[in-house]
Amino acid sequence: MSSRPSHPVRLLASALAAGALLTTAACSDGAGSENASDTAAEQAGVARPDAAKQTPTGSPSASPGTLTEAGAKAALLTEADLEGGWNQVQDADKWRDRLLVGEVDVSGFLTAKADAADCQQLLDGLYRDNLLGEPSGPSALTGFEQGDSRLLEQVAGYDRAGLDDRLKWMASLPQTCDEFTATDSDGAERTVQVTEASVPDAGDAREGLHVTVQGTADATPVTLTLDIAAVRVGTSALTVTGGGLDGAQASSVEQAVRQGTQRLKTVLDGGTPSPQPTNLD
């Protein structure tokens, strides 16, 4: 990835360290079991609806709880969840990639302004870390480095209807945008290609994109390659973006999606994510 002047590569994100949680209290039999369950949910950073608290044993499982600030932080990935030497960083909130900044050339689209606007939203969303729109609830982010590659994860609560609309919008981008040209403030042109990317069968809904941006950095031709995955769990979602000037990070993004979705589900169910990654193979 390209970067602000102080770094060779910058991707997306803002970093928040995963918050430590208290160990979930074991539920006892009898009249005290409901209170123990409520306490465990509070410790895990998730607000449990009353209906979920009162669901009797053997009944269908309740819908996921509401994400809280503590829950969003607890759901974030850790170094232990990723393979391949990824190192967690503390300044991911300063990551930005200048190759993603540019004005989309409207003349290259058959439907002109309508399609160009979608492609502009794509570039802006990747640069500003809000591809799924602005969260309506709590939000937390973290970032990891591996050489000149970056991996970003965001966990946030959203309006359900708006979240579904954004996932549908993501699904349309490979056809709407496909290949287009963007021009930066100096007049330099960049060629952007957008294709569909596979996402593990995780969560309630999911979409994936593979984006390449060909341009120049310090007068040298470069290609920024990004793999992006978004997964919805109830009214919450996680977004993982990985890649850089070294190429794609599809396998790392896939692993992050699997582990991140499991951590988010655990939090929404009132539990505490394990410090060791779950074997999901």
The pLDDT of residue 66 is above 50: yes
Residue type, 230: A
Q: What is the pLDDT of residues 217-254, one digit of tens each?
A: 888 999 999 999 999 999 999 999 999 998 878 999 99
Q: pTM for this structure?
A: 0.75
Two structure tokens written together for 145: 């480095």
pLDDT of 101 strictly over 70:
yes
Q: Looking at residues 62-77, what average pLDDT do you find? A: 88
Q: What is the mean pLDDT of residues 65-91?
A: 93
Is the torsion defined by CA of 159, 160, 165, 167 positive or negative?
positive
pLDDT per residue as tens digits for the range 128-187: 999 999 999 999 999 999 988 999 999 999 999 999 999 999 999 999 999 999 998 888
Domain ranges of the chain: 67-268
Per-residue pLDDT of 16-61, as tens digits, reads 333 333 233 333 344 443 344 344 444 444 444 333 333 333 333 4
Q: 67-268 — its CATH code?
A: 3.40.1000
d(CA 209, CA 225): 11
